[in-house]
Every structure is written in C-alpha cells, then in structure tokens.
Structure 1
Amino acid sequence: MTVRVAAAADFETCLALRYTVFVDEQNVPIELERDEYDDTALHLLGEIKGAPMGTARIVFNDDYAKIGRVCVTKEARGTGLGKALMLEAIAQAKAKDGTRRMILQAQLPALGFYESLGFVAHGGIVMDAGIEHRDMELILP
C-alpha cells in the first residue's frame, strides 16, 4: 500500500475514484462533487498493489488546511488505506509553514475514524449534499 501526492497526470484518476464513491455509491449530485478548489488543492492518491483505491485533497488557507473528498473504494475498505491517506494529509499539513490546524466535515458514520486520528467534533449536524456531517478540527503541534 502506498499513498503519495498525486501528480498532474493522476488528477483524472482521483476524480474517477471520487465519482465512484460519492456519485455512484452515495448519490451526491455530480455538480456538487466537483468544485473550484480542485484546481488548486493538493491531491493524494492511495494505491494497493499499484491499483488506485483511494484519494483525498487538501486545500491550504491562511493558518489551516481543509481536508476533503476523502474516499476509499469498497474493495479497499478495512485495509488501512483511509488511515494511511489521513496520516499523509496530516504530514503534508505539518510540513506547510504557517499551518496550525486542520479542519474537515465528517460524515456521521466516520466520526469515530477521525476521532481516532485526533480530530475533535464541534457544533451540530450540518447537511452537505443531503448527507449529515459534523465539523471537526485537529490542532497541529
């Protein structure tokens, strides 16, 4: 299993993974899945035995990094790839000068996963693409 910063040539692969998970599986409208941040975000690509199986993106702002579009294909769930993607995202954020915290919106069933990585939920439930989420934050050391 490997996780790496996606090269420009990997961008369409990342989008295809997101389409499979979010649009096909979770019925997120295609017009909501893609947004203006895709062109400037740092994209991560997770592979198992050379096959693309997961992705995530990081949007850097003033003093924080926003994690989003974290997904792993059905066949790769339970392998640790999601954790590997998140650990790489955290490492990338720590390496970026001035980044003091990370934020994300977690689907409710994934709260425990993100909490196991140190993220803390705050605020109430928010709807995004018809799916219940909670805001979460990780303060970087």
Structure 2
Amino acid sequence: KIRLFESGADDYLTKPFSTDELLARVQVALRRTQTLTPSIPTTQTIRFDGITVNLATHQVFMDDNEIHLTPTEYRLFTTLLKNNGNAVSYNQLLTEITTGVKGDPGAYLRVYIMQLRKKLERKPAEPKHFLSVPGYGFRLLIS
C-alpha cells in the first residue's frame, strides 16, 4: 500500500469492493480536481520575489531579465502557480505537462523542479518557492 502512495496514487480499493464504494471514490476524486481548477485569468501578470510571469505572453522574468523556460518547465510552473499554493499530486502534474512517462513519475518531475529551482530560486539548494510534498507531489509558494 505504501508503494502505491509513494508512486503517486491518490487512493486505492481492495477486492472485493462494491460499485457504490467505487462511485463514491470517483466522486471524491472529481471534487478534488474541481477544487484545483485554475483560478488565475490567462491575461494576468503575476509578480512575487522579483519574478514576473506574464500568462498571456508566456514570458517569465527574474529581476527584469527574461528567463527561458522549456515548454515542459513552463507548463509545470504555471500548473503549480494556478493552484495557489495547494499541493499538486505527481499524477496530476504529469497529466498537465506530458503523456506516456515510463518509470518513476516522482523522479521525472524532480528533474524539472530542479531545473525550475536553478532558474527561479535565489538559493536553489534552499528553495522557498518550489517545495516538495514527500510521497505526493509539489507546491509553489508565492508569498
């Protein structure tokens, strides 16, 4: 069971299970994703800690210097940004940024988070914005 959660599972069912229980768990999962619906308009510019993100033009600046993000880095960054500091699961992030990842989704995402930290954290080894949520995913704090 622990391996399932470490691999990014949000829930599981053991056999035998009832159809009612399965439907209830699906409804809970759907409610959870609806609460994570992006709430930042795409025309908005967001500023925090010297970082400026223009969601309309897909530009990111740090201290007025444009920072080049790969398409995957940008999708990961804006997915975290749009979730307003809430933790986002490995599976949801993978769904947002790519398809068909084989192997450990956490390891795949850690590589991209490390790149974002190098580009957008003042001290990448001591991140204060791109934070890991062990066994679950990541969150972006912009306060």
TM range (shorter): 0.3 to 0.5
| Higher-Rg member (1/2) | 2
- How high is the TM-score relative to the length of structure 1? 0.33
Larger RCO (alpha carbons 8 Å, 6+ apart)? 2
Q: Which has the higher helix share?
A: 2
